[in-house]
Structure 1
Amino acid sequence: MNPSPAIRKVFQGVATRQQMFRMFDRHHQRPNRWDDDAASLYSGEWFEIPEAAHDYMFEILPPLWIRGSMFAMREYLTGSVTSVFFALRIDGAIRHFHAYCDLADKESVERMRLAIINRESRPVSAMTREERLEHIWSSTADDYRGYAGDRWPEAMRGGRTVVLYGGNEGTFLKLLNELTDDEIVAKLPVHLRHLPSPIAA
């Protein structure tokens, strides 16, 4: 129904403070919000933030722990998943990131750190199809995204949906993971529409 717990970048570029707070709970519209275990929805998600937002989060509450240039939030989002903030040197510059890590897995934070460095060290800016879809989900307003409900075929229920504009046909809902390449391009901001895929980079 939703993203797998694999490590995944969910926003292209540096999120503003407002975007950061919004993405802290990207899945708040999900069905059965209070009844399910959402650990797999959030664990593995990461995105870049400004230094000021990183420092603000450090000062909100005493961290659960500090390890070098990383710290974890004391309040867990769900189960054993919490926010981990990174200040990483990449290509000679210090950059800042937020990630959700499952602290029940002792290796999750280090895997996340290495994954971010590997992803952001690419010499050419590029986006995978999955990153394009996640960016669309992250940047779409709540009124224009949701989850397939009872009117959808059973196999599709619970899948993420977005509103598309069909010209003379008006607006319609479509499953996020079924968007065509042209629909993805139309939903992305102009500056992201023509980034190459990593294979072409």
Structure 2
Amino acid sequence: MTLSSIRKVYQGAADRHQMFRLFDRHSQRPHRLGAEANALYAGEWFEITEREHDYMFEILPPLWIRGSMFAMREFLTGSVTSVFFALRIDGVIRHFHGYCDLSDGRSVEDMRLAIIERETRPVRAMTRNERLEHIWSATADAYRDYSDKTTPQYLPGQRVIALYSGAGSAGLKLLDDLTGEEIAIKLPVQLRNLPDAAIAA
């Protein structure tokens, strides 16, 4: 599984428990030490609370501080590390975490601009990809995994989610193959009826 581009992976502001889960959304992936780890994480971002932002600032001395941004000294994988943002959006200071590949000199600024663009849209909406990423982020490890030879339509390394039938039996389905109805069932009630966004974040 290889992801790319800058993408929002959770709708709403994550509390501390959720933030730490989101830091390693791909912990169950096969071949954890493989070379594709940079592409899996680089570009992922989500909103956090001010409290969590300040907590992370105080854990270790940052690698660097640039205005309202700071980077963690410890790298997640390769040249990818956590960058924390305090951004004024529509007159309100909001806080975000993003994984930036520091081997790319533009990655931090590109992330900052992408977050601002996404969060200043006039209509609260979600793309299909954002819905799928939120489902993956919010699902407990026991109900999500990576496909293996026992998975229908086996594709190595693809994400799968447990679905329950009306009879109460569970089966696995590729995350990317969820239907609109299945996506709605998996989303929390407050996110089910949001309009579709035409542009991916």
Q: TM-score interval w.r.t. the shorter chain? A: over 0.9
Please list, as runs of the form range in 1=range in 2, the aligned pairs for 1:84-99 lying within 5 A after superposition: 84-99=83-98
Structure 2 residue aligned with 1:192? 191
Q: Are positions 1:42 and 2:41 aligned together?
A: yes
Structure 2 residue aligned with 1:123? 122
Q: Counterparts of 2:153 and 2:33 in 1: how far apart (Å)?
A: 21
Q: Counterparts of 1:51 and 1:67 in 2: how far apart (Å)?
A: 17
Structure 1 segments, 4+ long, off by >6 Å, are none
Structure 1 residue aligned with 2:111? 112
Identity over aligned residues, as a percent? 67
Tell me the SS of whatever aligns to 2:157.
Answer: coil
Over the aligned positions, Cα root-mean-square deviation in angstroms equals: 1.5
Tell me the SS of whatever aligns to 2:74.
Answer: coil
User: How far did 1:154 drift?
Assistant: 7.9
Structure 1 residue aligned with 2:175? 176
Q: Which 5+ residue runs of structure 2 have no aligned equivalent?
A: none
- CA deviation string 1:165-189 (max 9, x = no partner): 1112611000000000000000000
Q: Which 5+ residue runs of structure 1 have no aligned equivalent?
A: none
User: How far did 1:156 drift?
Assistant: 1.0
- CA deviation string 1:93-112 (max 9, x = no partner): 00000000000000000000
Q: Are the structure 2 counterparts of residues 113 and 158 from structure 1 closer, same or farther at C-alpha, using a change threshold of 3 Å?
A: same
2:67 maps to a residue whose letter is: G
User: How far did 1:155 drift?
Assistant: 5.8
Q: Is the 8 A contact 1:83 1:100 kept in 2?
A: yes
Q: Counterparts of 1:154 and 1:127 in 2: how far apart (Å)?
A: 27
Please list, as runs of the form range in 1=range in 2, the aligned pairs for 1:2-21 lying within 5 A after superposition: 2=2, 4-21=3-20
- CA deviation string 1:16-45 (max 9, x = no partner): 111000100000000011344400000000
Q: Is the 8 A contact 2:145 2:159 kept in 1?
A: yes
1:21 maps to a residue whose letter is: F
1:123 maps to a residue whose letter is: P
TM-score relative to the length of structure 2: 0.95
Structure 2 residue aligned with 1:150? 149
Q: Counterparts of 1:155 and 1:139 in 2: how far apart (Å)?
A: 23
Tell me the SS of whatever aligns to 1:26.
Answer: coil
Q: Counterparts of 1:35 and 1:109 in 2: how far apart (Å)?
A: 24
Q: Are the structure 2 counterparts of residues 18 and 169 from structure 1 closer, same or farther at C-alpha, using a change threshold of 3 Å?
A: closer
